[in-house]
Amino acid sequence: MTPTKRPDIAIIGGGIAGLSAARTLFHQPVHIHLYEKRNQLGGRIRAIKNPFDLPDKLARLDHGQHALTGGHKETLALIQSYSTPAVAQLRSSVIFPNQFSVTRKYLPAPFHWLAGLLLSPDCSQKDIFSAIKLGCYAVKTKISPLSKDILLSELCSELKLSKKLLTYLITPLCLAALNTPAHKASAQLFLNILHTLFFTDQQASDIFLPTTDLTTLLIDPIVNQLKPDHHIHERSRIVSIKITQNGFLLTFDRQGFLETQTVDAIICATAPHELDGLIHDIEALADIHQMIQHMEYETIETVYLQYPPQCQLPYPMIALHMPFGQWAFDLGQFRSRYPNLDRDVRGLISIVHSASSGIPKNERQSLIKQLHQHFVDIGLTPSSSPIDHLWLIDKKATWRCSPSLIRPTNHTRLHNFLLAGDYTEPHLPGNIEAAIISGQKAAEQLLLNLGIPPKK
């Protein structure tokens, strides 16, 4: 490679990890070739047309409800760099209406949550001592991680935590943060998240919901930034990767026609289960192939219930203790904080069910009736029936956060072949924040490999 030649870099996968890598490389002296097999960029962050027949409705909805926390610092900074107001903030709380409720107070961390527990009429002395014990353990393992990772359920049993803390705090938090049930989840990863949310700063555990779909707020701005100067190949599936003397030869299927592209470096930003088909015959990546063979995956289901616009829940966000759903978001209440926005989602409630085993179609209507009856029981006002609903399933939405799971990092043994994706961040679960950080790190490492000083 001559000093004057701009290196060609292939980014395989147009999800948020790949786009994060591309954005990091945007101002560098490189040619970016971004390949996405689908006809829409964003990966799990993708928009669908709003199917509900209402005036002034939001044009698009997220294919699956995304809720961020204050701990998603890179994600929030990226969103807010493109759009304001971009997210609606809700002071963190766990509210199971008529069962259990605790809300953080306006104090420095971790006293904001300790005060919330102390002042909650639903918390006994045993519950508070259990929470303190678990919090101390999170601080301890931040300094000195567990010598051997175990199941979160086993850790809770060893610490003799109260049943109420397990039912109303640990179980829903584990499903929300790790998308993995406690009896299958890594105790160390859960403790990492616990430390971030409750011990770093006051707002780290607060909930931030996008004021419109994340594609509009996050994906479209990055793509629009890249398009004028770089190559974005949608509907282009990588068929093979061959190692050459000076780099790599890619063969890709663009809508039924095979094409080739030579590149100097690759950032592979596909999901791990899609990565396997690309690298299984590359000897230098045999260790990566073996690691991803041991990864398992979880399904996430989201249900949108569209009520008449005047309907709302007693709280913007509630926790659920039901056969289906762990969290419900009254999107109209979040969005109503920004009255100048030209479209609204009043009456629209999203219900998220993580680590789903898959709900048969013939059971869905019954579950929707149960959800509606629960909303009426806790104070849906007025108590009208939903006008319509939309049921969305995201299979293999994320990888399972199993104990002692050995995962790849950005680096590989193949020169100038790097990985990006939420599964490469060893201290984080599979989420948007991990994907964005991973994409940034992969791009920065590649610049170092190519001897290109990074531009800010």
pLDDT at 284 over 60: yes
Q: Say if residue 85 is preceded by a cis peptide, omega within 30 of 0.
A: yes
pLDDT at 364 over 80: yes
Report the candidate in 165, 168, 175 with the shortest Cα–Cα distance to residue 98: 168
pLDDT at 156 over 90: yes
String of DSSP letters for 195-214 = HHHHHS-TTTT-EEEESS-H
Show the domains of the chain with their CATH numbers. 8-37+235-295+401-450 (3.50.50.60), 61-72+297-399 (no CATH), 93-199 (no CATH)
- What pLDDT score was predicted for residue 31? 95
Q: What is the band of 340 on the pLDDT scale with cuts at 50, 70, 90?
A: low
pLDDT tens digits, 23-42? 999 989 999 999 999 999 99
Is this structure's pTM higher than 0.85? yes
User: Quick one: what percent of the chain has pLDDT higher than 70?
Assistant: 96
- What pLDDT score was predicted for residue 4? 64
- The mean pLDDT value for 106-117 works out to 96
Question: What residue type is 289 in one-letter code?
Answer: H
First to last CA, the chain: 24
Range list of β-strands (E), 211-294: 231-234, 236-243, 248-254, 257-263, 265-268
The average confidence (pLDDT) of the chain is: 92
Q: What is the band of 168 on the pLDDT scale with cuts at 50, 70, 90?
A: very high
- The mean pLDDT value for 49-78 works out to 87
For 33-56, give one letter per residue: b (16+ CB within 10 A) or e. bbbbbeebbbbbbbbbebebebee
- The mean pLDDT value for 392-397 works out to 94
What span, in angstroms and rounded, lies between the C-alpha atoms of 309 and 329?
A: 15
Q: What is the band of 262 on the pLDDT scale with cuts at 50, 70, 90?
A: very high
- What pLDDT score was predicted for residue 333? 87
pLDDT at 304 over 80: yes
pLDDT tens digits, 315-331? 999 999 888 999 999 99
- The mean pLDDT value for 64-92 works out to 89
φ, ψ for residue 261 (rounded to 5)?
A: -150, 130
- What pLDDT score was predicted for residue 1? 47
- What pLDDT score was predicted for residue 163? 96
